[in-house]
Amino acid sequence: MNPNESERSVTLSLALQNPQHIQQPAEAVSNAAVNDAVPLDFIRHIITDDLATGKHQKIITRFPPEPNGYLHLGHVKSICLNFGVADEFAGLCNLRFDDTNPTAENQDYIDNIQKDVTWLGFKWSGEARYASHYFQTLFDWAIKLIQQGDAYVDLQRPEEIKLNRGNFYTPGVDSPYRDASMDDNLTRFKQMQQGHFAPGAAVLRAKIDMAHSNVHMRDPVLYRILHAEHHQTGDTWNIYPMYDYAHPLSDAIEGITHSLCTLEFEDHRPLYDWLIEKIGFDLPPRQIEFSRLNVEYTLTSKRKLKRLVEEGVVQGWDDPRMPTIAGMRRRGFTPDGLRDFCKRVGVSKQDGVVDVGLLEFCIRQSLENSAPRAMAVLNPLKVTLTTLPASQRLSHARHPQLDLGVRDIPLSHLIYIDHADFSENPPKGFKRLVPGGEVRLRHAYVVRCDEVIKDANGAVIELRCSVDLDTLGKNPEGRKVKGVIHWVDANTAISAEVRLFERLFNKIDPEQGDDFMQNLNPDSLKIVQAKLEQSLGQAQAGERFQFEREGYFIVDEISPTAAGDSPKLIINRILDLKDSFKPV
């Protein structure tokens, strides 16, 4: 998956076709507003032609997640596409859970998938649907296939079935049960459902062609035995349809016109069409494949993400380092930033890897235009302002362009600055505070460092600075002060635990090598005890801010403390301010 230069140029040129930004808050967004001004791609051209020729009077798409894990960044593209084209063409989009494997599914996944889709700003048609709602119909159609001679019960062991299937170079071998009578197959299939067979002892297979050039068409399995309780149907069923059987027929039941899926299902399309034809539908759905969303440093495999959770590498599916929608939501990514990213990436049939810088660019653009400003010191160093005559209350706008009001900024003789903003031995070009040097406190006065206080080990623990009281809102007379640093008032500062996230993987392709776990970044999380300006004392969970000179942050949670103490804020860094990605 390591991108070469041609792949990179293709994906980035697609990404930059449509540079519009959407700045509406998610809760106010309709599907129409979400997808305004999306350029036509090959899928939208197909839909346009189908409507123009009268093949379809109304477009119906579906988003069909399997509830066996949390949705990730790759699903965002599918959500935006399926809901987007339905709305753009005045159609409908169903949310359907393809819940055919109860051993891997649970209600928590279902609840979070619905939350994710809603958070991204989309609405599905009617109630959420489930493939399990159609289990009886699918069972009846399986009987129909047996009666037509298009399906049979195979009593071979799973490893025999796999071995006899052949491969790309070798044709498969017919099962000894392939030519059993219709009556025998019906009896065995019903016995499978009645619980007469153990799991793995029997399967229902389609009878197609064991020499077919497409391995997926070599008598694929349609039903298997699972003695497992289903989260929707309880213990009604002992057999469950395979995804490749349930999915196309569920599409047909719902009247889906365009079944949009990623390219790995292209080889499955002949089976999709075969099942639709054998059951018989006047206007069958059409499966159309598009390229997956692959992003640098990002893992988009639910199975592998689940391993990270189960082995305790991360703290749950919604860990802010995870590329799940839940994780990105906790991290502080915005719905409109993610939608903008998918719009820029576009839809094509050409696989490639998208520069992660594009994703971060879109999120920063969204935050730049919405996040209030504040000051926070992540590595506090005490500073005494020796010549400040009295405490003051300054004020400044909460956002430089938006009318979000002003914030009070207390200033007393004791403040905190960041350790990184002082150096006794500054490198070349250092424009912050040095012994005997001057710097401006952001939104306040110019100060000069007169004395450095150290502990017994020689570590700097305090600075003593004088204040030029004639520099509030204006430059000092006769000299230039180039540096500006942020600060907070020590007497009114809010304490907070700030979590600084880096990429979870340190390889562009996280799956490079024998085991993706070897590519984990050991420094993906750093926790610091920070001091925030007083205005953040009323911040609520979910609020985003730009901490000036530091980056974008979100309040993750507010932890209870001992009686009489102020609640402790826990804050996640969304992204820093640095943005090296330059769109054309």
pLDDT tens track for 494-520: 999 999 999 999 999 999 999 999 999
Is 544 contained in some domain? no
- What is residue 580's predicted lDDT score, i.e. its pLDDT? 65
315, 430: one domain: no
pLDDT at 7 over 60: no
pLDDT confidence bin for 563, thresholds 50/70/90: low
d(CA 24, CA 262): 29
484, 353: one domain: no
Hey, what's the torsion of the CAs at 329, 332, 333, 334, to 10 degrees?
Answer: 90
Last residue of a domain, one of 195, 222, 242: 242
pLDDT confidence bin for 560, thresholds 50/70/90: low
CB-CB contact of 454 with 448 (8 Å): no
175, 259: one domain: no
CA-to-CA dists, residue 272 to 177, 286, 329, angstroms: 24, 9, 35
pLDDT at 8 over 60: no
pLDDT tens track for 60-102: 999 999 999 999 999 999 999 999 999 999 999 999 999 999 9
410, 349: one domain: no
Residue 27 phi/psi, 5° resolution?
A: -70, -15
61, 113: one domain: yes
357, 250: one domain: yes
pLDDT at 16 over 60: no
115, 87: one domain: yes
pLDDT top residue among 157 and 10: 157
pLDDT at 387 over 50: yes
pLDDT at 35 over 70: no
DSSP string, 478-521: T-----EE--EETTTPEEEEEEEE--SBSSSSTT-SS-GGGGB-
- What is residue 557's predicted lDDT score, i.e. its pLDDT? 84
| Of 24-28, 490-494, 547-551, minimum mean pLDDT range | 24-28
Q: What is the mean pLDDT of residues 250-271?
A: 97
What's the angle, vertex CA 196, arms to CA 193 and CA 198, rounded to 5?
95
CB-CB contact of 569 with 496 (8 Å): yes
Rounded to the nearest integer, the mean pLDDT of the chain is: 92
- What is residue 40's predicted lDDT score, i.e. its pLDDT? 86
| 3-class state of residue 354 by DSSP | strand
pLDDT tens track for 154-196: 999 999 999 999 998 999 999 999 999 999 999 999 999 999 9
167, 267: one domain: no
Can you say whether residue 69 is alpha, beta or left, with left for phi > 0 and alpha for psi between -120 and 50 degrees? left
Q: What is the mean pLDDT of residues 458-474?
A: 96
DSSP string, 48-117: HHHHHTTS-SS-EEEE---SSS--BHHHHHHHHHHHHHHHHTT-EEEEEE----TTS--HHHHHHHHHHH
CB-CB contact of 360 with 440 (8 Å): no
DSSP code, position 441: E
- What is residue 21's predicted lDDT score, i.e. its pLDDT? 29
DSSP code, position 134: G
pLDDT tens track for 197-249: 999 999 999 999 999 999 999 999 999 999 999 999 999 999 999 999 999 99
pLDDT confidence bin for 15, thresholds 50/70/90: very low
Q: How many CA atoms lie within 13 A of 532 on its CB side?
A: 25
Of 29, 71, 77, whose CA–CA distance to 328 is shortest? 71
pLDDT tens track for 88-146: 999 999 999 999 999 999 999 999 999 999 999 999 999 999 999 999 999 999 999 99
452, 437: one domain: yes
126, 144: one domain: no
- What is residue 568's predicted lDDT score, i.e. its pLDDT? 82
CB-CB contact of 77 with 63 (8 Å): no
Task: Cite the active site residues.
Answer: 66, 292, 302
Last residue of a domain, one of 201, 222, 242: 242
Is 501 contained in some domain? no
Is 526 contained in some domain? no
Residue 348: how many CB atoms within 10 A of its CB?
16
Q: Which CATH number covers residue 358?
A: 3.40.50.620
Q: What is the mean pLDDT of residues 283-297?
A: 96
334, 435: one domain: no
CB-CB contact of 200 with 253 (8 Å): no
129, 139: one domain: no
Last residue of a domain, one of 368, 385, 411: 368
Beta-bridge partners for 451: 464
- What is residue 399's predicted lDDT score, i.e. its pLDDT? 96
Of 123, 133, 140, 132, whose CA–CA distance to 86 is shortest? 123
Q: How many folded domains does the chain comprise?
A: 3
Helix (H), strand (E) at residue 477 = none
List the domain range (segments joined by +) for residue 276.
5-133+245-368
